Amino acid sequence: MPPRDLPGLYWDEDRQRYFPLSSAPSHGKGRPRVDRVPQSQQRVTSDADTRNPTFPLIRPQPHQLFSGLRSSPPSTSHKDRLTHFLRCSRFTLTGKGERLLMHSPWSGLAGSVTAFQLIDGMTCRTKTVHHNDRVWSFAGDSMGWFHSSLTNNQNQPTGLLTHGWQPEFNLSSEVSSISVSDSWCIATSFGPDCKILHFPLESTTEDIRVSRIDGHVACDIWTADLRGSRLALGAKNQLVCIDDIADRAAVQNLPTYSDVFAVAQENHIIYAGLRNGGLLRFDTRTWQSKGDALLGGLFTQPPNSITNLRLLRDSQLLVSNVDGKISTFDLRFSSIRTPLKVFTGNVNSYVIKAPIAVDPSEDFLLAAGQDNRIRLWSLRSGGPPLAPSTSDTPIEFDGHNLLQHRFEHPVRAMQVSEEAEGITLWVGSGSDVFKYSLGRDVLGG
């Protein structure tokens, strides 16, 4: 009777017993026969497999993915990869968006949207939190107007709509950023005479409050990030931190010797991306005036301005540069210059306000290019942007596909939110805000 094949063991004919595969001799008849697949049926491993073992270079079709999900073994990781593939395929088919009209209170003077935020109360991290089944939306424009919109979440309007936009206040110069927390919406203005607008979200008795920053303290606020009650401002040659926006007592001025274009906060740490390509880390527990330089000066020689920073799970930092480069780094190794992933194909050479957006699950990245187009990447795989195949998109609908659409005006603001009907992308371009349901194709599927 021939011996049975047992996992991890091989049969030694001379000694008539089983032995572990690890102890198999390198030569001789006792060596186990590992390869039981005919040579003609063996799969040849290519360089592409070594570079990217998780995602193939050719994107499978949706029907293949559904078949794989039905027939795949009960492996959570395998099903998760197939589901991610399916979402990649669906997101590339995103069709035409809805246009949310915004109107300036002065006839004929419509500014371009420069900042946007949507708020709802379940997940402040994703900026989509419902307050009593209502959704706040905020937008700022190049004329200095701060707009708000409050809609009923259970009865969202569709099509061409005004979205109930209400001009709240004029900050006299371009609105450079809008950020939110549980209780506040904060807007900042750019220029030598900067202002900070405080908009209460929960209080019905407190009014909008606007504070002015003395030009000797800070000017040219490029960006801001609000976490809890702490507001970090990226300004000319310095990072300004206000510990408590309600109190405004403790203000820290941290010199960076280069304009701060990007700011990101997590717990007691603040990251600042600079015009000269530097990346600095400040610890609010010590408030040392000199921040720690990260990435070994990777983007400083030659200078490659950092335009966006985004903290991701697993200690990762997403960095975008003015030359269009986008990459992620492991913050546990602050001096290592090698990125974890590189996202290629973005188009930029000089635009500082080129926004990026990440979905709430942190699986997808969207970036607006200098060519007025939006591109989509998988955060899991990196590499070139995702794009619909010619067989997926009928030629008569090419102009309606989000990833093939060229906006008439530059895209200055983007945000991704998670709603009842799915993942939504909000785009600020020209004087309007556009709403796209990611994965809903041009045929309404």
> What are the pLDDT digits (tens) for 178-196?
999 888 899 999 999 899 9
Per-residue pLDDT, 131: 54
Per-residue pLDDT, 406: 95
What HEC string does 160-219 produce? CECCCCEEEEECCCCEEEEEECCCEEEEEECCCCCEEEEEECCCCCCCCEEEECCCCCCC
pLDDT tens string 5-48: 666 677 777 777 777 766 666 554 444 444 443 443 343 333 33
Per-residue pLDDT, 103: 60
Tell me which residue of 418, 442, 415 sits closest to 429, measured CA to CA.
415
pLDDT > 70 fraction of the chain, expressed in percent and rounded = 73
Among all chains, which residue has been given the structure tokens 């000066």? 297
Query: What is the number of alpha carbons within 13 Å of residue 170 lying toward its C-beta?
Result: 10
User: Given pLDDT bands bounded at 50, 70 and 90, which one contains residue 3?
Assistant: low
- Mean pLDDT lowest for which of 86-100, 322-336, 381-395, 419-433? 381-395
Q: Two tokens at 85?
A: 């593939």
| Measured CA angle at 386 (ends 383, 391), to 5 deg | 135
Question: Is 166 a residue whose pLDDT tops 90?
Answer: no
Question: How do the domains of the chain map onto residue ranges?
Answer: 91-437
Mean pLDDT for 380-407 is: 76
DSSP 135: E
Assess whether the previous peptide bond of 302 is cis (omega < 30° from 0). yes
Per-residue pLDDT, 68: 53
Other CB atoms within 10 A of residue 94 CB: 24
For residues 239 and 102, what is the distance between their CA atoms, to the nearest angstrom?
32
Comparison of pLDDT for 97 and 399, the residue scoring more? 97
CATH C-level class of 91-437: mainly beta
Tell me which residue of 314, 443, 435 sits closest to 379, measured CA to CA.
314
Mean pLDDT for 107-118 is: 80
pLDDT tens string 257-299: 999 999 999 999 999 999 999 999 999 998 888 899 999 999 9
Q: Two tokens at 249?
A: 């007592």
Question: Is 337 a residue whose pLDDT tops 60?
Answer: yes
- For the chain, what is the mean pLDDT? 80
Tell me which residue of 3, 5, 40 sits closest to 21, measured CA to CA.
5
Per-residue pLDDT, 213: 86
Question: Is 161 a residue whose pLDDT tops 90?
Answer: no
